[in-house]
Structure 1
Amino acid sequence: MQAELTPVAEGFKTYNNYGAWLRKKYNGQRVFKVIVDGGFTCPNRDGSRGFGGCTYCNVDSFTPTVSRENPSIREQVIKGMERARTGNKADKFIIYFQPNTNTYAPAHYLKMLYDEALSYEPENIVGLSVGTRPDCIDAEKIALLESYTDRFDVDLEMGMESIYDETLSQLNRGCSHSELLNALELLKNSKLDVCVHTIFGLPGETNEMMLKYADEINLFPQIKFVKFHHLHIVEGSIMGVKYKREPFKLFSLPEYTDFLCELLPLVREDIVIQRLFGLSDRDLLIAPDWGLKKSEIQHFIDETIRKRGIIQGSALSL
C-alpha cells in the first residue's frame, strides 16, 4: 500500500532537498558553495579516452564567469566567499571543485590544490566537494579525499548521466556505466558522501527508460546525494552544432515537471536531492529557453509537486 498522502503547507517541500538538509545539519547557518576552477582538463578531451569531450558539454556553460576569469585558487576562494557573504549572507562555505575532471591528476598534485583551497578561513569552511568522472577514481584518490574527513564533510560527485551504454556511446562519453558501478564498489565502505549526476531528456531515451534511473540509484546505499538535470543545449558543444542543423524534442517546463512528479516517488527517501534542474548562462543557452529565472523555475516545480501531493519515496512504501 502506498504511503498515505497528507496536506502539505505552502512552502514546505515534500522531497529531501539540499537547502533544508544544509540548514538542519549546520544548525541553521547559511552554507554556500564556493566554486573553484583547478585548471583541470578531461580524459575525454586530451586523448586519454577520446577527443572533443561529451557532445553536450561546454565547460564554460556551468562555470561562473568570475571563476573563469580568476586563475588563482586563492583569488577564487576569497572572492567567492565575499560574493556569498554579500549576496547571500553566507556564514559557512563548501569548497567546490567543479569544472572538468577534478581528480584527473596524480594524488600529490591534487593534495596541493585541495590544501590550498581549504587554507583560507578554514574555520569558516565546513566541506569539500569534488566533481569528477567515474573512470578517474581509484583507491589512492579515495584515500586522499578521506584524509580530509576529520576536518570537513567531503563529497565526491560523479557523472552518471545515463544508465544506458548505447546513450553514453552516442554522447561520446568515453566512460561506460560499468565504470560507474566499479567506482561505486570502491566507495562501498568509504567515509565520503557520494553524489551522482544525471541528465534527463537525452536523445533516444523514453520516460519509461529514464524512470529506471531511480531503480539504479536506489541500489547503492553509498549514494547520499543526487543532482537531476534536464538536457539543455549550449553554444560551444558538439550537440549544439547538431541541434542547430536538426532540432530534436526537448522538455518544456511543464513536461519536465510532470516527469519529476513521476520520478520522485520512486527515489529512496533518504537520498538528498541537490538539484532538480540545471541552467546555463543565458548567453550560452540554445535550448530549451523556458523564459524564466532560476527562482521562478524552482517555484513552478515546487508548487506543482506540492499541489499534486507528490512525496519522495512514497511509491517504495509498501
Structure 2
Amino acid sequence: MQNGTYSWGHDRRYNDFPTYFRALFSERVQKVSIDAGFTCPNRDGTKGTGGCAYCNNKTFKPTYCNLENSVTSQVEKGIAFFARKYKSMRFLAYFQAYTNTYAPIEDLKRLYEEALEHPKVVGLVISTRPDCIYPELLDYLAELSKKVYVMVELGVESHLDRTLDSINRGHSFAEAAWAIEETAKRGINNCAHMILGLPGETREELLDQAKTISKLPVKNLKLHQLQIHKNTLLEKQFQQHPENFDLYTADEYIDLVIDYLELLNPEIIVERFISQAPPEMLIAPKWGLKNFEFVAKVEKRLKERDTWQGKRFI
C-alpha cells in the first residue's frame, strides 16, 4: 500500500469487481440472465443423475427466463426490466442456468451470437462446469473475445476432491485448474466460483483453498456461503444429519472471508462474497442481509482489523 492506494489502484481494502468494471466500461453495464435450455452431464446420466447436492436452479433464475421465451425474447425482456431504472446502460448476456457449454459447438455459436445481435449487448458471461470446456470451444471464445467482452464462469466449488465427490459434482479439482489455465492462456476472462462451508471442510482447509486458488491464473472470484435450499439432496442430508453441517453465522462468515482475503492473490478481482436465495426457497442459514449490507460489514471489519486483500499473500 502506498499513499492510501493499494496495488489494484484505489483505496478500497480489496480488489472489488464494481470498481474494476466501471473502469473497463465507459457506462453502466448490467448482466441479463438467459436460460437457453441446457442440462448437465451429472443430470442426464453422462456422469451421474440428480445434479449437484446443493443445486436448485430456481434460486437464482429470473421469472422471464423460461424455455417458452427464445434467447432474443429473454434478452429483450431483461433489458426492458432494467431500462425502467436506468436510461443509459449496456448489457452482458448471462447464460446462467445449468451448464452453458454442454452442447455441440455449432449450437453454442448460434445461441451466443443470437444474444449478441441485440445492439445494447456488449458481451457474454457463460456459466459452466470445468469438465465441459474443450479446445474447439476455447478457440472460438478466444476469437470472440477480440470483438466483445467474454467471461467464462467456472463452477469450481472446492479444491478438495473428496468434497467434490461428496456433493456429486462429477469432476476433479485438476479439471478445474486445467480450465482456468486454458482460458487464461487464450486471453479469455475467467471467474472461479467457490462455496465456503461445504460439509466436512475445516476452517484450515478453507484458508488453504485461498492459497491454492491464488496459484492459478484466476481473473475473477465469486465466493458464497453454503446455503441449504429446498428440494435438494443437501436438504435431505441436513434433515437427517444436521450435526454434519457447520453453518456459519453472518459474523463468523465475515471473519472467515477476511482471513481468506488476507491470503488471496491481490491481482484476483473479487466479484462477490455471498449468494442470496429467495426466502421461500432457503432453509438455512437465514441472515436477513442483502448483498450491499454484507459488503458494508466486510469493509467495516477490514478497517477495524487494519487489514486488506493479500496482506498475508506469499
Common fold by TM > 0.5: yes
2:12 aligns with: 13
Superposition map of 1:50-199 within 5 A:
50-68=48-66, 71-88=69-86, 91-121=89-119, 124-199=120-195
CA distance in 1, matches of 2:4, 2:190: 31
Contact kept in structure 1, 2:156 and 2:173, CA below 8 Å: yes
> Which has the larger displacement, 41-50 or 69-78?
69-78
Q: How many residues align?
A: 309
- Report the residue type matching 1:110 in the other structure: L
Distance 1:151 1:172, change over 3 A: same
Across the aligned residues of Structure 1 and Structure 2, the Cα RMSD in angstroms comes to 2.1
Distance 1:244 1:12, change over 3 A: farther
- Report the residue type matching 2:36 in the other structure: G
How far did residue 97 of structure 1 move?
Answer: 0.6
Unaligned runs of 5+ in 2: none
CA distance in 2, matches of 1:74, 1:170: 38
Distance 1:254 1:68, change over 3 A: farther
Unaligned runs of 5+ in 1: none
Match of 1:309 among 286, 306, 310: 306
CA distance in 2, matches of 1:30, 1:66: 22
- Report the residue type matching 2:128 in the other structure: T
Match of 1:220 among 206, 210, 216: 216
CA distance in 2, matches of 1:63, 1:43: 20
Match of 2:250 among 242, 250, 253: 253
How far did residue 95 of structure 1 move?
Answer: 1.2
- Report the residue type matching 2:312 in the other structure: A
Between the aligned residues of both structures, percent identity stands at: 38
Give CA-to-partner distance per residue, 1:72-122, whole Å, 9 cap, x none: 21121011112222235551111111110000000000000001111111x
Q: Could you state the TM-score of these two structures normalised by the residue count of structure 2?
A: 0.92
3-state DSSP class of the match of 2:66? helix
State whether structure 2 residue 296 is matched by structure 1 residue 299: yes
Distance 1:4 1:119, change over 3 A: closer
How far did residue 148 of structure 1 move?
Answer: 1.4
How far did residue 13 of structure 1 move?
Answer: 2.8
Higher relative contact order (CA 8 A, sep 6+): 1
CA distance in 1, matches of 2:214, 2:257: 16
